Amino acid sequence: MAERIVVGMSGGVDSSVAALMLKEQGYDVIGVFMKNWEETDENGVCSAEEDWADVRSVCDLIGIPYYAVNFSREYWDRVFSYFLKEYQAGRTPNPDVLCNREIKFKAFLDFAMQLGADRMATGHFVRTDGEGRLLRGVDPGKDQSYFLYMVHAQQLRKAVFPVGGMTKAEVRAYAEAHGLPVSHKKDSTGVCFIGERNFKKFLSTYLPAQPGDMVSPEGKVVGHHDGLMYYTMGQRRGLGIGGCGTGESWFVIGKDLAQNRLLVAQGEDHPALYSTLSIGEDVTWVGDAPIRDGETLECTCKYRYRQADQDVRVTLEGDRVRIQALTPQRAVTLGQSAVFYKGEECLGGCIVTSVLDAGKAKTNNN
């Protein structure tokens, strides 16, 4: 009897190609569409309905059974409530990492096992091996290991990633050659499962905005903000401050939650934008922890998706890590993930909760 693999299908080209490849390789393939958000967007469009129609079309074409499952409650309880709490705390969360841990590799994996699956599959651009190591996808521009660092080895041993060894161009060419109707469908962007939105308008429906002052490093009020939750470290656009003084653009350098002030400074290379030392909590290792308490790991790190690898020293301090970057890092953002690598392998990561030396690092960022 053929091995049964349940594929999480989004209606996009990547998961569609994953399902087709597995079908052609002789597996017993079942497609499952996850609906995790009930609301329409600001234009009254329910993208989930459109995506579900694409899933049905693809599954009918390649000849596999399909199901839809609703994880909206799990998504709200495990992902979106955290998302809102982080914004309330003045941080900038990355819901995709939590979405992968709690929904795709927990709720969905459990559902796949209920369908009698031997393994699950997704359209992520990552690779794994029999030991459950998480490896980068071969397409450096599409590698998604950054978003999967919270997934553990025991889950990865039950997963397969058919497109992880392909480039995006190869995926689209494969889809087109096999007549898949989604071969040229635009990639999804925006918040995980919610999609592209007018983010300011979207967030304001869930959290009350508290306008306040924008303040320079000298303590001078230079403008007014619409609510601290709408801004993030290093942001330039949307501040609405003219180039007074030096004539240089203004950038967000921090938030004063106690006084509801947005801290801003002029100049893309202002010292307050740079740091080398940060603290990370909610530490997660894909496999066995590579260091014990008090030990230091030399590796590379990404402080944000698509960033080039940065050389760091990571020291485990109880249930947190101290991250020492060897070169100054620009706009390290509280609430974002710092993800650690050794070559092609993603080791794990953490949530950045504090930056210790902003403004003290040299600004010769390499």
For the annotated catalytic residues, the residue numbers are 99, 192
Burial of 277 (0-12, 13-18, 19+ CB in 10 A): middle
φ and ψ at residue 279, rounded to 5 degrees: -115, 135
Which of 51, 32, 48, 40 lies closest to 107, judged by CA?
A: 32
Question: CA-CA distance, 276 to 355, in Å (whole number)?
Answer: 8
Q: Which helix (H) or strand (E) holds 216?
A: none
Token pair of 66 as six digits: 């399909």
Question: CA-CA distance, 218 to 343, in Å (whole number)?
Answer: 43
Q: How far apart are the first and last CA of the chain?
A: 55
Q: Which helix (H) or strand (E) holds 286?
A: none
Secondary structure (3-state) at 302: strand
Secondary structure (3-state) at 58: helix
